[in-house]
Structures are given as structure tokens and as C-alpha cells.
């Protein structure tokens, strides 16, 4: 181990222990004092520890350790954030021997501490974005394609790596494109539906007309049949081609007139 | 005979029909034929006044021959010629007479067709008369139970009213169309008619009427289950919220594009007028009871 390493290690250890010393000193000073200061001191120490852990995580090469450290950071953050309201309430309580300005300052201290805790990156910085994306896709209730699996990916188990982030982005883009395509199809189907309905009504309208035509043509054909029969009887007497041809021409003329 | 002078034909026919000492009964049959020829010849020669007269006489001749069908046909031709001349009163008159003759034959479809033709001829110039003719045509068809054919006529009448900007009348006609559609179970046309009426009321900024109309139509099962109903409810709720963007987005949808052209044009121009006034109106209705409570 080189000297430099030794020195840095010693420095780190001293710093750690210095902190503890100061805390002990503070506690000795404040034991007769209020609960707020004690709690606040505790919070501060834990926050500093978190920051250190994050720094360690960012330098760590091993993915698994990064995962573990991030998880721990997240858990601690969640715990601290839960305790913050208690701290806040303590801050607002009046304590004897404390000036009014200090009381107000305590409130500010609490909120500053809260922001500091929240700002500690814990590897799920895009967590809120993910959750809103998921909510947005859930609200598009028209087409439900696999919305369940979207939620599981925001859990702690699936850590964010670069590849997974890109994959998620691509997945979202594809989903958007699919939704656009489906909207387009839906519009086309709407048009088809209305056209089909109109066709239906038009055909319904034409049914009685066709029936009428049917009746009339039936009547006309029966008339022609009876006329033919009568003509046959009349013509039986004289067999003459001319009359046949003339009658044929007359019938054709009537047919042409009708059409 | 086609090369004969139409004037000569006319005079010949007139002579046939006039009763004189030598002629005890008018020969309507040949007169009718001659009148028709003369009329056609006049029409070709573009002498519309004379053609019209000839057609009238031909029609009368056919009437005398107790063939109302031919008489009606001649009347229609006379009406068409009168349209060329621009005698709008006569046009309406001729077509009405033709329609009556068709009814005499017992054929309602051609009767309403004749009235529709007259209405179409008068659309540009005397739209009120045209609308009258359309409504008469519709009632003829409805009496005969042939409401299906009346749809087009109702739609045309509504279009004329919209052009005249008589929106309550247009909406009324659309509701009548819905009624006719209901009688022949044409659900799609019925729903489209009701939606059209609601849009016309909204365009005329008569929000109360539109709401009343919507409530009335919701009583009808077929409308309740339809796409048009959902669209109407979305539109009315967007109106009550005064959300202009939402309204504009809604009217771009395909439901509106399936309606009649005139109604699509109206819908695209929505929202008209002061939405905030509508909002204030609907808000006021809720505030007034509170005020009374306060006073007590």
C-alpha cells in the first residue's frame, strides 16, 4: 500500500470519527435541551452518510455493488422522508430559552434538510418520469396492450442501466406509433361503418320498388302470353311468313320502346 | 308530320276543339296529339311562351280524354318550360297541378316527384315556395306510407332553411325527418337527423333548446344506444364547461363528417357566439337558489 493511500485512508477514518466526536459533543451540550436539536443532528448525520454512500456508488465498478448501494440509499431516504414530518412538528414547538428567530430558522432548516435528502441521487432519478409515462399509457384505455408489465419495471429489482433506458425509450416510442396507427384505423372503420349503414338503408328503400317492378313485369308477361295464345289461334288459319315477320317486328319495336 | 309548322298544328288542333255548327263534339284525341307535337316543336325552336301554352292545352286535352297520367306528364313539361321563362308563380302552379293529377291516378311517388322537381326549380329564386313544395311532397309520401323516399326531400328542405338562416325551422324539419326514419326503422338516419338538429340549435346559440332537444331524443332507445348520442353528450358537456378547444376537437371527429354537408359546415363553425355567456347562464341557474337561501 502506498503512502498516499495510507494518508487518504487515515484522513477518511479521522473524518468519520471526528464526526462522531462532534456529535457526542453536541449531544452532551444539548442533553438538557430540546428533542428537536437531537433529532435534527441525527438526521444530518444520516444524510451525510447517504451522500458518502452515493459517492462510493458512483465510483464503484462492480454493477452488483452499485445495485446494492443504490437500494440501501433508497431505503434510507424513504425512512428519513417519513421522519421529516415529525421533525417538522418538533420544530414548531416552542422551547424555553430559545429566541423567536431561532424558532423560525428551525422551520427553514427542516425544509432545507428535506430538500437535501431528496436531492441525493439514488439511481432511480427518472423514476417519476417512468411512473407518469405508465399512468399516461394506462389512461389511454382504448387499446389495452400489456399495461401490467409496465408497472413492474419501475420496481427496485430492475435497475436502470443505459441499455435498459434506451430499451424503455424505444418501447415507449413504438407504443406511441402503434397508438397513432390504431387511431387511424379507427377513423377508417368509422367511415366504413357509416357507409355500411347508409347502404343498408338504401337497400331497404329499394326492396318495395323491386317488388313493384316484379309485379308489373309479371303482369306484362302474362298479358303477352295470353296475346300470343290468341294470335296463334287467329294465325292458324293462314300460314304466311310475312305475317310472322311483321308481328315479330312489332314485338321487337314494343320491347325497344320499353327500354 | 315533324316538318309541319307548329303554328299550323296549333291552329288545326284549336279548330278541332272548338265547337261550331259543323262540329258537335270536340275531337280531343287528335287535338291532344297535335298539341303535343306543336309543343315539342316550339320547345325545340326555343319559343317557350308558345310551348308552355301548347303543353297546357295538351294537358287539358288529355284530361278530357280521362287519362290523368298523360295530362300530368304534359303539365310537368309545361312547368319545366315555365322555369325557363322565369314565371315562378306559374312554375309552382303547374307542378302542383301535375301532382294532383298524379294523385288522381293513384300514384303518389310521381306526385311527390313532381312537387320535388318544382321545389328544386324554385330553390334559388323563391326558397319559401320551394320549402312549401318540399313539405307537401313529404306529406304525400307519408300518407302513402312511403316515408323512405321522403328522407331526401326532408334533407333538401332543411338545407334550404339553413341557407335562409331560419334555424329553428331547420331543426324542426330535421326532427320530422327523425320521426319518419323512426316509422321505417331507419335507425342510422334517425340518429343523424337528431344530431343534426342539436347542432343546428347550438349554431343558433340556443343552448337551452339544444339541451331540451337532447333530452327529448334521449328518450328514444335507438338514439340512446348510438354513436351520435355519445357525441352529442360530449359536445353538450364541452359547451357547459365552455371549453372551446374541446369543442373544436370534437367537431373534427368522424361522427360529424358522416352528416349532411350543410350540417358539417355549421358544425365546423362551432362554437359560435359567446361561450362565457352560456357558461354564465348555466351558472346563474345554479346561483339563484343559493341567493334565495341567503336572503332567508
Considering the domain architecture, whether residues B185 and B105 belong to the same structural domain is answered as no
Distance CA B159, CA B163 (A): 6
* A188/chain B closest Cα distance in angstroms: 9
Considering the domain architecture, whether residues B115 and B210 belong to the same structural domain is answered as no
Among B110, B144, B178, give the residue marking a domain's end.
Answer: B144
Question: Picking from A143-157, A227-241, B258-272, which range would have the lowest pLDDT averaged per residue?
Answer: A143-157
Non-local CB neighbours of A69 within 8 Å, separated by 6+ positions: A53, A54, A56, A57, A60
3-class DSSP string for chain A: CCHHHHHHHHHHHHHHHHHHHHHHHHHHHHCCCCHHHHHHHHHHHHHHHHHHHHHHHHHCCCHHHHHHHHHHHHHHHHHHHHHHHHHHHHHHCCCCCCCHHHHHHHHHHHHHHHHHHHHCCCCCCCHHHHHHHHHHHHHCCCCCCCHHHHHHCCCCCCCCCHHHHHHHHHHHHHHHHHHHHHHHHHHHHHHHHHHHHHHHHHHHHHHHHHHHHHHHHHHHHHHHHHHHHHHHHHHCCCCCHHHHHHHHHHHHHHHHHHC
Distance CA A83, CA A41 (A): 13
Distance CA B117, CA B120 (A): 5
Distance CA A209, CA A189 (A): 31
Q: What is the pLDDT of residue A226?
A: 94
| Selected residue of B106, B258, B260, B263 to mutate for chain A interface (largest A Cβ count, 10 A) | B258
Q: Is B106 an interface residue toward A (CB < 8 Å)?
A: no
Distance CA A85, CA A107 (A): 11
Considering the domain architecture, whether residues B266 and B175 belong to the same structural domain is answered as yes
Residues A198, B148: C-beta atoms closer than 8 Å: no
Q: Is A212 an interface residue toward B (CB < 8 Å)?
A: no
Task: Pick B50 or A106 by higher pLDDT.
Answer: B50
Considering the domain architecture, whether residues B118 and B175 belong to the same structural domain is answered as no
Closest residue in A to B259 (Cα–Cα) = A194
Cβ neighbour number for residue A72 with a 10 Å cutoff: 14
User: CATH number for the domain including B183?
Assistant: 1.25.40.10
Which residue's C-alpha cell is 278541332?
A: B16
Q: What is the pLDDT of residue A253?
A: 94
Q: What is the pLDDT of residue B274?
A: 59
* Residue B20 in domain: no
Distance CA A12, CA B18 (A): 135
Q: Is A204 an interface residue toward B (CB < 8 Å)?
A: yes
* Residue B44 in domain: yes
Q: What's the rounded mean pLDDT across residues B191-200?
A: 88
Residues B148, A205: C-beta atoms closer than 8 Å: yes
Among B127, B144, B161, give the residue marking a domain's end.
Answer: B144
- Which pLDDT band holds residue A185 (cuts at 50, 70, 90)? very high
Considering the domain architecture, whether residues B272 and B193 belong to the same structural domain is answered as yes
Residue A249: pLDDT above 90?
Answer: yes
Q: What is the pLDDT of residue B288?
A: 45
Considering the domain architecture, whether residues B68 and B133 belong to the same structural domain is answered as yes
Closest residue in A to B186 (Cα–Cα) = A201
Among B186, B254, B257, select the one facing A204 at the smallest CB separation: B186
Q: Which pLDDT tens digit goes with each residue over A209-244?
A: 899 999 999 999 999 999 999 988 887 766 667 778
Residues A201, B254: C-beta atoms closer than 8 Å: no
Considering the domain architecture, whether residues B122 and B192 belong to the same structural domain is answered as no
Considering the domain architecture, whether residues B78 and B132 belong to the same structural domain is answered as yes
* Residue B269 in domain: yes
Contact A114, A151 (CB under 8 A): no
Considering the domain architecture, whether residues B97 and B188 belong to the same structural domain is answered as no
Q: What is the pLDDT of residue B1?
A: 42
Selection from A109-123, A193-207, B259-273 with the highest mean pLDDT: A193-207
Residues B146, A204: C-beta atoms closer than 8 Å: no
* Residue B278 in domain: yes
Q: Is A205 an interface residue toward B (CB < 8 Å)?
A: yes
Tell me the pTM: 0.58
Q: What is the pLDDT of residue B284?
A: 47
Considering the domain architecture, whether residues B186 and B266 belong to the same structural domain is answered as yes
Residues of chain A positioned with their CB less than 8 A from the CB of B254: 187, 190-191, 194
* Total number of domains constituting chain B: 2
Q: Is B148 an interface residue toward A (CB < 8 Å)?
A: yes
* B184/chain A closest Cα distance in angstroms: 9
Cβ neighbour number for residue B49 with a 10 Å cutoff: 13
Residues B254, A190: C-beta atoms closer than 8 Å: yes
Residues of chain B positioned with their CB less than 8 A from the CB of A213: none
Residues of chain A positioned with their CB less than 8 A from the CB of B184: 204
Residues of chain B positioned with their CB less than 8 A from the CB of A204: 148, 184, 186
Q: Is B107 an interface residue toward A (CB < 8 Å)?
A: no
Residues B188, A204: C-beta atoms closer than 8 Å: no
Q: Which pLDDT tens digit goes with each residue over B15-47?
A: 887 777 777 777 788 888 888 888 888 888 888
Q: Is B62 an interface residue toward A (CB < 8 Å)?
A: no
Closest residue in A to B258 (Cα–Cα) = A194
Residue A1: pLDDT above 90?
Answer: no
Distance CA B140, CA A238 (A): 54
Considering the domain architecture, whether residues B192 and B276 belong to the same structural domain is answered as yes
Considering the domain architecture, whether residues B133 and B71 belong to the same structural domain is answered as yes
Residues B188, A205: C-beta atoms closer than 8 Å: no
* B188/chain A closest Cα distance in angstroms: 6
In chain B, pLDDT over 90 holds for what percent of residues?
Answer: 0
Instruction: Work out how many CB contacts closer than 8 A connect A with B.
Output: 25
Residue B169: pLDDT above 50?
Answer: yes
* Residue B140 in domain: yes
Q: What's the rounded mean pLDDT across residues A188-209?
A: 90
* B255/chain A closest Cα distance in angstroms: 8
Residue B293: pLDDT above 60?
Answer: no
Which residue's C-alpha cell is 305475317?
A: A243
Q: What is the span of the domain harbouring residue B189?
A: 169-282
Residues A200, B188: C-beta atoms closer than 8 Å: yes
* Residue B51 in domain: yes
Q: Is A58 an interface residue toward B (CB < 8 Å)?
A: no
Q: Which pLDDT tens digit goes with each residue over B212-251?
A: 888 888 888 878 888 888 888 888 888 888 888 888 888 8
Residues A190, B258: C-beta atoms closer than 8 Å: yes
The mean of the pLDDT values for chain B is 82
* Residue B257 in domain: yes
Q: What is the pLDDT of residue A16?
A: 84
Question: Picking from A79-83, A186-190, A214-218, B201-205, which range would have the lowest pLDDT averaged per residue?
Answer: A79-83
Selection from A126-135, A136-145, B84-93 with the highest mean pLDDT: B84-93
In chain A, pLDDT over 90 holds for what percent of residues?
Answer: 23
In angstroms, how far is CA B61 from the centroid of its own chain?
A: 31
| Selected residue of B148, B154, B264 to mutate for chain A interface (largest A Cβ count, 10 A) | B148
DSSP, collapsed to helix, strand or coil, labels residue B151 as: helix
* A148/chain B closest Cα distance in angstroms: 29
Q: Is B252 an interface residue toward A (CB < 8 Å)?
A: no
Closest residue in B to A200 (Cα–Cα) = B186
Cβ neighbour number for residue A82 with a 10 Å cutoff: 9
Residues B258, A194: C-beta atoms closer than 8 Å: yes
* Residue B19 in domain: no
Residues of chain A positioned with their CB less than 8 A from the CB of B257: 191
Residues A191, B186: C-beta atoms closer than 8 Å: no
Amino acid at each position: 500500500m502506498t503512502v498516499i493511500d495510507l494518508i487518504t485512508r487515515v484522513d477518511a477514518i479521522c473524518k468519520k470519527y471526528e464526526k462522531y466526536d462532534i456529535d457526542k459533543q453536541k449531544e452532551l451540550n444539548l442533553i438538557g435541551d430540546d428533542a428537536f436539536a437531537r433529532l435534527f443532528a441525527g438526521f444530518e448525520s444520516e444524510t451525510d452518510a447517504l451522500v458518502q454512500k452515493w459517492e462510493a456508488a458512483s465510483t464503484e465498478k462492480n454493477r452488483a455493488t452499485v445495485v446494492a448501494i443504490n437500494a440501501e440509499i433508497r431505503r434510507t431516504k424513504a425512512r428519513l422522508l417519513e421522519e421529516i414530518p415529525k421533525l417538522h412538528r418538533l420544530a414548531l414547538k416552542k422551547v424555553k430559552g430559545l429566541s423567536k428567530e431561532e424558532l423560525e430558522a428551525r422551520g427553514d432548516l427542516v425544509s432545507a434538510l428535506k430538500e437535501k435528502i431528496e436531492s441525493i441521487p439514488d439511481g432511480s432519478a427518472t423514476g417519476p418520469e417512468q411512473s407518469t409515462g405508465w399512468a399516461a399509457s394506462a389512461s389511454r384505455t382504448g387499446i389495452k396492450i400489456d399495461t401490467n408489465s409496465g408497472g413492474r419495471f419501475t420496481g427496485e429489482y430492475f435497475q436502470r442501466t443505459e441499455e435498459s433506458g434506451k430499451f424503455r425509450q424505444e418501447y415507449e416510442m413504438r407504443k406511441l406509433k402503434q397508438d397513432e396507427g390504431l387511431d387511424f384505423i379507427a377513423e377508417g372503420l368509422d367511415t366504413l361503418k357509416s357507409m355500411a349503414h347508409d347502404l343498408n338503408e338504401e337497400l331497404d328503400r329499394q326492396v318495395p320498388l323491386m317488388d313493384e317492378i316484379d309485379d308489373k313485369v309479371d303482369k306484362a308477361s302474362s298479358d303477352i302470353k295470353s296475346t300470343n295464345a290468341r294470335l296463334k289461334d287467329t294465325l292458324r288459319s293462314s300460314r304466311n311468313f310475312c305475317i310472322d315477320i311483321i308481328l315479330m317486328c312489332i314485338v321487337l319495336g314494343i320491347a325497344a320502346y320499353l327500354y | 308530320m315533324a316538318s309541319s309548322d307548329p303554328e299550323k298544328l296549333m291552329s288545326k288542333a284549336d279548330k278541332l276543339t272548338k265547337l261550331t255548327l259543323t262540329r258537335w263534339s270536340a275531337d280531343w284525341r287528335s287535338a291532344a296529339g297535335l298539341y303535343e307535337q306543336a309543343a315539342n316543336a316550339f320547345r325545340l325552336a326555343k319559343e317557350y311562351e308558345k310551348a308552355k301554352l301548347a303543353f297546357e292545352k295538351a294537358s287539358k286535352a288529355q284530361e278530357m280524354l280521362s287519362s290523368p297520367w298523360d295530362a300530368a306528364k304534359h303539365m310537368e313539361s309545361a312547368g319545366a318550360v315555365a322555369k325557363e321563362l322565369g314565371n315562378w308563380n306559374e312554375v309552382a302552379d303547374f307542378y302542383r297541378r301535375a301532382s294532383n293529377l298524379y294523385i288522381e291516378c293513384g300514384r303518389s311517388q310521381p306526385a311527390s316527384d313532381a312537387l320535388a322537381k318544382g321545389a328544386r326549380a324554385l330553390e334559388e329564386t323563391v326558397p319559401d315556395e320551394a320549402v312549401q313544395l318540399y313539405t307537401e311532397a313529404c306529406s304525400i309520401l307519408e300518407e302513402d306510407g312511403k316515408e323512405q323516399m321522403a328522407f331526401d326531400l326532408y334533407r333538401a328542405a332543411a338545407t334550404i332553411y339553413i341557407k335562409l338562416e331560419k334555424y329553428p325551422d331547420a331543426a324542426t324539419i330535421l326532427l320530422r325527418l327523425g320521426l319518419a326514419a323512426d316509422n321505417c326503422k331507419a335507425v342510422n338516419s334517425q340518429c343523424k337527423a337528431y344530431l343534426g338538429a342539436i347542432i343546428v340549435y347550438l349554431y343558433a346559440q340556443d343552448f337551452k333548446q339544444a339541451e331540451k332537444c337532447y333530452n327529448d331524443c334521449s328518450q328514444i332507445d335507438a338514439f340512446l344506444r348510438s354513436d351520435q348520442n355519445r357525441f352529442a353528450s360530449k359536445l353538450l358537456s364541452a359547451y357547459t364547461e365552455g371549453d372551446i378547444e374541446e369543442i373544436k376537437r370534437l367537431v373534427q371527429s368522424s361522427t360529424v363528417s358522416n352528416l349532411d354537408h350543410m350540417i358539417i359546415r355549421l358544425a365546423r363553425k362551432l362554437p359560435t357566439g359567446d361561450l362565457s355567456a352560456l357558461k354564465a347562464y348555466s351558472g346563474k341557474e345554479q346561483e339563484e337558489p343559493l341567493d334565495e337561501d341567503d336572503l332567508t
